[in-house]
Amino acid sequence: MNRRIRVAVSGAGGRMGKEVIKLVLQDEGMELAAAIDRSSHGVDAGGLVGLGEAGVRVTDDLETALATAGADVLVDFTTPQAAYTNTSLAIKYGVRPVIGTTGFTPEQIGELDEQCKEQGIGGLIAPNFSIGAILLMRFAAQAAKYFPHLEIIEYHGDQKLDAPSGTAVKTAEMISEVRKEMKQGNPREEETIEGARGGYYNGFRIHSVRLPGIFAQEEVVFGDYGQTLKIRHDSYERAGYMPGVKLGIEKVMGYTGMIYGFDHFID
């Protein structure tokens, strides 16, 4: 039997970090090497996620954990401010980074790729670990070749700061790679209430709905004479990202260099 992958988790006390701890403790192919978090240090990582004693105390000292815990992989869901340093430190100690934290610049990704190559290890930075969301983007781009009239509607909780969502922007970009820029609708159309037709992107519209009770959903609606096609993905909770995180942890063991984007792992 193959050796289990030893996983360290930074941001262990955060909403995503806790889901990762649960994943690692419950997956037969992985074991928890270390859990790092500033606010919950000292407590048992299993207790932190309601699974009972795991025998791993949460620490606030990432560097010591990377140097001593024998981790193969570091999974990081923290903040853009912390994640670059955490990733670089992991690479320095030969621990493969699997990063869900968003906000890396292309320059930072390039630097981290160099560092991974120097160390001869793999790394992954994935701003979206949802397999369903990635498939939605692919299917939408495929459909846009045949149905160039479309609108995107995305739904998120009312506390989300940015609009449209990063996933909606990425969907629009992927559609625009295969669909020639073309203005839709009536050329004399006028809004009587500002914003009623949504945000304009290469001739089509993106609508952002913000309401309490919603987690993350996206729909791409295509229209043609006599028919419509709707492609929709609904996320209900953070656990939905974990199959993607698991695949990332397994894949990163097998290549060298930093890969950006989880879609590279989906055929």
Footprint of ligand NAP (CB under 6 A): 11, 13-17, 37-39, 77-79, 81-82, 100-102, 126-130, 241
Give the integer Cα–Cα distance in Å for 140 and 219. 9
To the question of whether residue 12 is assigned a binding role by annotation, the answer is yes
Q: What is the smallest separation between the CB atom of 117 and ligand NAP, expressed in angstroms?
A: 23
Does the annotation count 160 as an active-site position?
Answer: yes
Does the annotation count 117 as an active-site position?
Answer: no
C-alpha count within 13 angstroms, C-beta hemisphere, residue 100: 28
- List, in order, residues 6 or more apart from 217 with CB less than 8 Å away: 154, 155, 156, 232, 233, 234, 235
To the question of whether residue 192 is assigned a binding role by annotation, the answer is no
> What is residue 9's DSSP assignment?
E
CB-based closest residue to ligand NAP: 14
Annotated catalytic residue, options 156, 207, 233, 246: 156
Give the integer Cα–Cα distance in Å for 119 and 96. 10
Q: What is the smallest separation between the CB atom of 5 and ligand NAP, expressed in angstroms?
A: 19
Q: How far is CA 167 from CA 14, 43, 130, 216, 253, in A?
A: 22, 35, 10, 10, 27
* Closer by beta carbon to ligand NAP, 128 or else 171: 128
Q: What is the smallest separation between the CB atom of 166 and ligand NAP, expressed in angstroms?
A: 9
Annotated catalytic residue, options 117, 160, 170, 251: 160
**Annotated catalytic sites, by residue?**
156, 160
- Residue numbers in the known binding site for NADP(+) are 38
